[in-house]
Structure 1
Amino acid sequence: MIRTLIAASLFVISTSFAAFSNDVTHTVVDFQDLEDWDKDDHEKALDAFLVTCPDLNDPDWSALCALAQQKPDAKGFFELFFRPVIIEDGDPALFTGYFEPELSGSLSPSARYRYPLYRQPPESVNAGLWYPRRVIETSNVMTGRGLEIAWVDDPVELFFLQIQGSGRVKLPSGRMIRVGYQGANGHEYRSIGAELVRRGVFEAHQVSAQVIKNWVRRNPVAGQELLWSNPSYVFFRRVDSVPAERGPLGAMNRSVTTGRTIAVDPAFVPLGAPVWIEKEGANPIRRLMVAQDTGSAIKGAQRADVFMGTGDTAGREAGRLRDPGRMVTLLPIQRAYAMETEPGL
């Protein structure tokens, strides 16, 4: 999914009209109802909360952030000042994973590093539909304009970098540079995984990022055509303000935390809020995380994307994560009870 920075208005901890519709319920529960709550490392959750809570300009949350900055006992802090709220819209919970890709590249082209990672051309910013992927990659529309940020050695990894929207490039010296989403060409994203299923190459349950990468590399001609079947193209910017050892910027314009940040739908779950995760599946997760990111595919009250980290290992873990479960949002006490759905409604 393409991750973009959210406007400052989303920093206000509030709930949109969608969360107040008749189809959405808010149920306050006890901390003892959270499975394995006592076993979590609440200090790590508090550290993640502190990354973004200073940006919350709602009085309730600002007061809680001030208390959190005094580094109280983390478990007691959450239990004393929050109440768990199950927010539901009728759809079942779904957890997926995302990660930050790491590519090998160079600041100058060579026989190995041949695939450019571009800044956005000025004329494309307000153009609506600009040139599709095939034209951008096969014509001279980008040539000789100094728009290259770096050159990488793998066009398949570059394609998936565009899907994620941010990543790191490791230079031959070992130095890292970070890039983030700047803009796109205006064309609708088309899933190449869905295209492979449509062609009968794979069944839907067989498709993953790694499966697609392997198929494209085994079939270079057909694979290139497959990549071109997605006309959407993403342009990047250097993100030098974030040290390479820290996580990429999320929707709140702060670094996300591996295993403690989730992307949510801010129409239901306020950005910056702690969220208790009960993910089922082969590798269950019982953990307090923080809603610090969004994503174009993350829609619904019980929908979350877990940030798994940077690099290939994180990418494989993220690609395998697609599980049911439950998410419970921690809200300030007075807000939790004010939003609680009355019985029978």
Structure 2
Amino acid sequence: MKNQSCFSIILILLALLAGCTSKITESPGTVKQTDKPEIKLPDETRLSTHVVAHWPNLPGWSEDDLYAAWQAFKQSCSVLRQQLIWQEVCNAATNMQATDNKSLRMFFENQFTPYQVIANDGNKKGLVTGYYEPLLHGSRQPSEHYRYPVYGAPDELLTIDLGTLYPELKDLRLRGRLDGRRVVPYYSRAEIMSDPTILKGHELFWVNDEVELFFLQIQGSGRILLESGEIVKVGFADQNGYPYNSIGRILVQQGELPLEKASMQGIKQWGQLNPDKLPLLLEQNARFVFFRELPEDLSGPIGALGVPLTAGRSIAIDPRSIPQGAPVFLATTWPNTDKPLNRLMVAQDTGSAIKGGIRVDFFWGYGPEAASQAGRMKQQGSIWVLMPNSYTVPQLAQQ
């Protein structure tokens, strides 16, 4: 998938640099040139099939406590009601008077149709991981103790949105910077780490732990306990445009960690034991995340949908498979166990490593228990997306 993405980008940029005029045909994945042969782009716009299911097909559906999921879905509606297909169901959710579990189950069963998500390769199960909101220790001023900067987004960072010209690439945005009159890739993590002048003046905070800062970038949001005792919230602002590269996988490939210990906890422990090797390891993930300070009264970190996440009920998904904001029923197991974890979630976030037809990142919330669960979660799971009854898909199959 990653190689296909790079191939698509290269073809598009070559077409743009050639100065040719183009238009999008109705066939997804094809760019029609007015004066050149067709360029066939890999079709990445549809990663799964949605197959009509029935409520009894959803494992544990009748036992789930739906109140928190209903509240999370109402958060989604602040964005979804801008789309016609969601307006009726969002109005019904907002106007509900009875919110006991029986009434909420009736609401979802009357307003939605469940569709099992099946990956393009036919698989009905995929990977379920976890993420959380970490707590770091820091300061608004650098010192010998607080020397690792948390950066805000630099002014020179450009975002190149190809979705207007190429609708099938509406979720693809390139990052870069100007070098004279040329747009070139933005600086990699290795370049930023080796030259502090690149982002000088964009420091928001300084923290005391380089590994914790790295995982803050992976999680995308967190809290910082300042010397004054104040706790500030920071959230994702932007990123430098490079693909995510798992340092856990690198440690396994290099023989530094066995596969079963390549968890967040295992990587942190390795970093503490190998401080001299740590910078080189971190540089191998070229992706770098920039942050912004968030209002302190937010109920949770802001996800990609633009609404606060709900612990235990929000998930990150690939929007090429699941519509952002939609309710999603997840059937998986608790981290490192066979105990069923079946509950209604809401797709309110995305992530650079969350790619695929059936790929879920489970938001556990804030605190030590959330960190423990998220760090250990690497389960298999199935998902059903709940769509308004007016939703249709081509050649719908029946389960």
For Structure 1 versus Structure 2, the TM-score category normalised by the shorter chain is: 0.7 to 0.9
1:67-86 mapped onto 2 (5 Å cutoff) = 67-71=92-96, 72=98, 73-86=103-116
Counterpart CA distance in 1 for 2:59 and 2:240 is: 45
Q: Find the counterpart in structure 1 of residue 86 from structure 2.
A: 61
Tell me the secondary structure at the aligned position of residue 391 of structure 2.
helix
Counterpart CA distance in 2 for 1:343 and 1:119 is: 49
1:230-241 mapped onto 2 (5 Å cutoff) = 230-240=285-295
Q: Find the counterpart in structure 1 of residue 330 from structure 2.
A: 277
Q: Find the counterpart in structure 2 of residue 7 from structure 1.
A: none
TM-score using structure 1 length:
0.85
Change (3 A) 1:45 1:181: closer
Change (3 A) 1:333 1:107: same
Cα offset, 1:313, TM superposition: 2.6
Counterpart CA distance in 1 for 2:157 and 2:112 is: 46
Cα offset, 1:343, TM superposition: 6.5
Given that 1:25 and 1:340 are in contact with CA atoms closer than 8 Å, whether structure 2 keeps it comes out as: no
Tell me the secondary structure at the aligned position of residue 218 of structure 2.
helix
Q: Find the counterpart in structure 2 of residue 43 from structure 1.
A: 67
Counterpart CA distance in 1 for 2:134 and 2:331 is: 26
Is residue 370 of structure 2 the alignment partner of residue 314 of structure 1? Answer: yes
1:285-324 mapped onto 2 (5 Å cutoff) = 285-324=341-380
Which structure dedicates a bigger proportion of its chain to strand? Answer: 2
Counterpart CA distance in 2 for 1:221 and 1:35 is: 48
Deviation by residue 1:205-234 (Cα, 9 ceiling, x = unmatched): 331111111111111112232223333322
Q: Find the counterpart in structure 2 of residue 111 from structure 1.
A: 144
The 4+ residue runs of structure 1 with deviation greater than 6 A are: 16-21
Cα RMSD, aligned residues only: 2.5
- Which residue identity is paired with 1:42? L
Cα offset, 1:300, TM superposition: 2.7
Tell me the secondary structure at the aligned position of residue 353 of structure 2.
coil
Given that 2:45 and 2:320 are in contact with CA atoms closer than 8 Å, whether structure 1 keeps it comes out as: no
- Which residue identity is paired with 2:230? R
Match of residue 27, structure 1, among 27, 31, 51: 51
Change (3 A) 1:124 1:30: closer
Given that 1:118 and 1:235 are in contact with CA atoms closer than 8 Å, whether structure 2 keeps it comes out as: yes
- Which residue identity is paired with 1:115? Y
Counterpart CA distance in 1 for 2:109 and 2:241 is: 46
Change (3 A) 1:262 1:187: closer
- Which residue identity is paired with 2:95? Q
Is residue 213 of structure 2 the alignment partner of residue 183 of structure 1? Answer: no
Change (3 A) 1:32 1:343: closer
Q: Find the counterpart in structure 1 of residue 173 from structure 2.
A: none
Cα offset, 1:278, TM superposition: 0.9
Change (3 A) 1:187 1:26: closer
Moved more, 115-124 or 59-68: 115-124
Given that 1:28 and 1:340 are in contact with CA atoms closer than 8 Å, whether structure 2 keeps it comes out as: no
Deviation by residue 1:18-48 (Cα, 9 ceiling, x = unmatched): 7996x84332222122222121111221111
- Which residue identity is paired with 1:329? V
Given that 2:52 and 2:397 are in contact with CA atoms closer than 8 Å, whether structure 1 keeps it comes out as: no
Counterpart CA distance in 1 for 2:292 and 2:381 is: 36
Cα offset, 1:147, TM superposition: 1.7
- Which residue identity is paired with 2:73? F
Is residue 313 of structure 2 the alignment partner of residue 260 of structure 1? Answer: yes
Given that 1:87 and 1:302 are in contact with CA atoms closer than 8 Å, whether structure 2 keeps it comes out as: yes
Is residue 134 of structure 2 the alignment partner of residue 101 of structure 1? Answer: yes
Counterpart CA distance in 2 for 1:266 and 1:139 is: 35
- Which residue identity is paired with 2:185? L
Gaps of 5+ in 1: 1-15
> What percent identity do the matched residue pairs reach?
40
Given that 1:54 and 1:62 are in contact with CA atoms closer than 8 Å, whether structure 2 keeps it comes out as: no
Counterpart CA distance in 2 for 1:340 and 1:288 is: 26
- Which residue identity is paired with 1:76? M
Q: Find the counterpart in structure 1 of residue 172 from structure 2.
A: none
Tell me the secondary structure at the aligned position of residue 129 of structure 2.
strand
Change (3 A) 1:107 1:324: same
Work out which structure has the larger RCO, using CA pairs closer than 8 Å and 6 or more positions apart in sequence. Answer: 1
Given that 2:244 and 2:353 are in contact with CA atoms closer than 8 Å, whether structure 1 keeps it comes out as: no
Counterpart CA distance in 2 for 1:135 and 1:268 is: 34
Match of residue 227, structure 1, among 282, 296, 300: 282
Q: Find the counterpart in structure 2 of residue 203 from structure 1.
A: 258
TM-score using structure 2 length:
0.74
- Which residue identity is paired with 1:47? Q
1:109-258 mapped onto 2 (5 Å cutoff) = 109-125=142-158, 126-127=176-177, 128-142=184-198, 145-240=200-295, 243=297, 246-258=299-311
Counterpart CA distance in 1 for 2:340 and 2:228 is: 39
Tell me the secondary structure at the aligned position of residue 220 of structure 1.
coil
Gaps of 5+ in 2: 1-27, 30-42, 159-175, 178-183
Given that 2:330 and 2:342 are in contact with CA atoms closer than 8 Å, whether structure 1 keeps it comes out as: yes
Given that 1:274 and 1:291 are in contact with CA atoms closer than 8 Å, whether structure 2 keeps it comes out as: yes
Cα offset, 1:235, TM superposition: 2.1
Given that 2:243 and 2:352 are in contact with CA atoms closer than 8 Å, whether structure 1 keeps it comes out as: no
